[in-house]
Amino acid sequence: MATAALSTVQLAPGQAAWRRFRRHRLALAGAVIIVILVLGSALGPYLLPFDDTYIDIMKRFAPPLSGAHILGTDELGRDVLARLMMGGRISLSIGIVAMVIAMAVGIVVGAFAGFYGGAVGAVLMRLVDAVLCFPTIFLLLALAALTEPGLVTTTVLIAATAWMSVARVVEAQVRSLREREFAVAALAFGSSNLRIMFRELVPNAIAPIVVAATLNVAKAILLESYVSYLGYGIQPPAASWGNMLNNAQIYLTSAPWLAIAPGVAITLAVTSFNFLGDGLRDALDPRMNIP
């Protein structure tokens, strides 16, 4: 026992976090599923003899596991598995890129608001509060209606409706960190404000930022599915998990598999990122384990 306790003390913070993370089975499962989904979407299309946009009218509505089409074909005879994989490329990329943009905006706004406080902070944070007043889907659809739909606009618009929560997290962290000794010391050394903000304060808030980033990917994938399902996101013939469900409702009676595969893919991806975020929160914030 004594040696075990001793070795725990000597663990580097990173190792300790890894140990806590490993205990969180669901987070681990989430990470594995994410890797499988990413690899499947990235490499899968090369292994499949079907093109995702190839229309084969003679083979419309082939049910799953009938012949060569593992997940069946859709209303135009396109292979559902091929579309699912190509759709995965788009949906997962949008999730990750939108997260990166949202994080960048959120971190900059949050860092400035938290560091300067006062009038600057108040104005920036009231802006965050104001944007949060708009229900996300309403704002996203209104913006999408004003712009040409497509991959880039969809990604940017999702980021535009997702940065506020990050800004709140970063603002709170920076506001408390800037009073700490190391920040005061950096100031005494004559570091510039920008340097203190982004080289001292933000890196010290990395744990909540990483958690927020992970949960943000989940949110972005979900939002992409909503706008694309409603017809204002990724446009056919390109596939995304959301727009594959576009016509699923019409064929629900005759071809329910068209609704099942993309829905399961979205749920699986979003759940995995959410569990991963949850596990990272437990692993990176040891205080959460005490109560």
Question: Computed over its alpha carbons, how large is the radius of gyration of the chain?
Answer: 23
Smallest gap, in angstroms, from Cβ of residue 149 to other proteins? Answer: 11
Smallest gap, in angstroms, from Cβ of residue 248 to other proteins? Answer: 6
Interface with other proteins, residue 249, by CB under 8 A: yes
**Is 5 or 145 the residue whose CB approaches other proteins more closely?**
145
**Is 120 or 194 the residue whose CB approaches other proteins more closely?**
120
Interface with other proteins, residue 163, by CB under 8 A: no
Q: How far apart are CA 282 and CA 272, in angstroms?
A: 15
Angle at 210 between CA 18 and CA 29, to 5 degrees: 50
Interface with other proteins, residue 73, by CB under 8 A: no
User: What tokens were used for 110?
Assistant: 């949050």
Quick one: which of 239, 244, 273 has its CA closest to 257? Answer: 244
Choose one: 61-69, 73-81, 94-102, 226-234; the region binding other proteins (CB under 8 A): 226-234
Choose one: 75-83, 113-121, 124-132, 173-181; the region binding other proteins (CB under 8 A): 124-132
Interface with other proteins, residue 190, by CB under 8 A: no
Interface with other proteins, residue 118, by CB under 8 A: no
Choose one: 8-16, 72-80, 128-136, 165-173; the region binding other proteins (CB under 8 A): 128-136
Angle at 234 between CA 108 and CA 137, to 5 degrees: 60
Is the distance from CB of 271 to CB of 27 less than 8 angstroms? Answer: no
Interface with other proteins, residue 130, by CB under 8 A: yes
**Is 20 or 196 the residue whose CB approaches other proteins more closely?**
20
Interface with other proteins, residue 176, by CB under 8 A: no
Choose one: 4-12, 171-179, 191-199, 240-248; the region binding other proteins (CB under 8 A): 240-248
Could you say which residues in the range 19-58 bind other proteins, by CB under 8 A? 26
Q: Looking at 45, 275, 281, 283, which residue binds other proteins (CB under 8 A)?
A: 275
Interface with other proteins, residue 226, by CB under 8 A: yes
Is the distance from CB of 59 to CB of 69 less than 8 angstroms? Answer: yes
Residues that bind other proteins in the complex, under the rule CB under 8 A? 26, 126-127, 129-139, 141-146, 218, 222, 225-226, 229-230, 232, 242, 245, 248-249, 252-253, 256, 259, 262-263, 266-267, 270-271, 274-275, 278, 291
